[in-house]
Amino acid sequence: MMLNEALHIDPKRIDREILRLVKHDPDIPSDSVIGKSIAELVESGGKRLRPMMVIVGSRFGPRPSPRKTLQLAAIAEFIHAASLIHDDIIDRSDTRRNRPALHTKVGIQTAVHTANYMMARVVELLSQYSKEHDRYVQDFSAITTTQLCIGEYQQLNHRFDFDVTEEVYLEKTGNKTAQLMATCLKVGAKSSDASDAVADKLYQFGECLGMSFQIRDDLLDFTQPSEQLGKPAGSDLINGQVTLPVLYALDLPELGPKIRSLTFRSTREEIAEIVEEIRSSRVLDKVEALSDHYLDRAKTLIGDLHAYPAYRDLEHILHFFADRKN
């Protein structure tokens, strides 16, 4: 069963809301390059994890507001999709979900402007929630303008930096992935007037989920074929990203010196050879164990929410994260 089916969420409603938000912006005609680019991003699919987290979070409050929650869910996908456009350009990745990445079709400048528009549209949409009891939605603005940018910069700044520490890696992962997932759950909860205690618990749960998700994502880059990933396998190291499998492999005497010899000038063949050696090493079990550790923490955190009917939704999300292969 697909996660959206287990959660009883129709992702097409989210997609329609995304397109509606673009259509109702008088400054961006739907037949413009930016309008068409966003429509194409929607049609290319995706898990819609973050908007679904907004919706699940909203199920923990006593006064649901479906219209508001749906818009906030669409805003979450705006943020995520824009970050992926930037990711693909920075990483020089030509594919996304087994399709050509946006910048390969419309050019880098147009792709950057599309992503920037989406981020700016987020801030514009959130500005309507100006009343005191709606201030929680400004968390999305903070994510848009600070944490994601910091995470991207940290990743870019440490390309082929084999002296980076695990602490720095985890901080980058928190900024780039975990805080957005955490904020989605919290914002969803507050949109239905959940208590601060419940919203904060969901935030912590989402933070652990996000850490596990990104660590497993880095692991899958070494264990899954390109067709499954929707991008070239081993592309993280090819792009100089020092992910957790690489960090752990650096401690192996048979692999550390080889990895440290890699530079911007290394060929894809040289890097692919080391990717294969890491894939065959014992470090991947250690990476998976840390991902599972964060999932265990997430499960423990939500023990106090057992009485809520939507607790079952959190269990579905946990199972999905534990079993994901792409």
**pLDDT (mean) for 54-72:** 95
Q: Using CB atoms within 10 Å of the CB of residue 40, give its burial: 0 to 12 exposed, 13 to 18 middle, 19+ buried.
A: middle
User: How far apart are alpha carbons 288 and 174 in whole angstroms?
Assistant: 17
Winning range, highest mean pLDDT, from 192-196, 236-240, 268-272: 192-196
pLDDT-based confidence at residue 129 (cuts at 50, 70, 90):
confident
Mean pLDDT of the chain: 89
Q: Mean pLDDT, to the nearest integer, of 175-195?
A: 94
pLDDT at 145 > cutoff 90: no
Residue-level pLDDT at 77: 94
Based on the structure, what is the number of domains in the chain? 1
Is pLDDT above 90 for 17? Answer: yes
Establish if 322 belongs to a structural domain. no
CA distance linking residue 18 with residue 122, whole number of Å: 11
Residue range(s) defining the domain that contains residue 308: 8-315
Q: What pLDDT is recorded for position 144?
A: 67
- Note whether residue 326 is domain-resident: no
Residue 324 lies in a domain: no
In-domain check, residue 325: no
CATH code for position 113: 1.10.600.10
Asked, for residue 2, whether it belongs to a domain, the answer is no
Q: Which range, of 28-42, 223-237, 240-254, averages the lowest pLDDT?
A: 223-237
Q: What φ, ψ does residue 280 adopt, rounded to 5°?
A: -90, 0
d(CA 228, CA 323): 14
Give the confidence band of 258 by pLDDT, cuts at 50, 70, 90.
Answer: very high
| Residue 261, both tokens | 């010899």
Q: Is residue 156 part of a domain?
A: yes
> What local confidence, expressed as pLDDT, does residue 225 receive?
73
Instruction: Please indicate, yes or no, if residue 137 is contained in any of the structural domains.
Output: yes
Q: What is the pLDDT of residue 132?
A: 62
Residues 196-232: pLDDT tens digits? 999 999 999 999 999 999 999 999 988 887 667 666 6
131-155 average pLDDT score = 76
Whether 205 maps to a domain, the answer reads: yes
Report CA dihedral (137, 300, 215, 44) to the nearest 10 degrees: -50
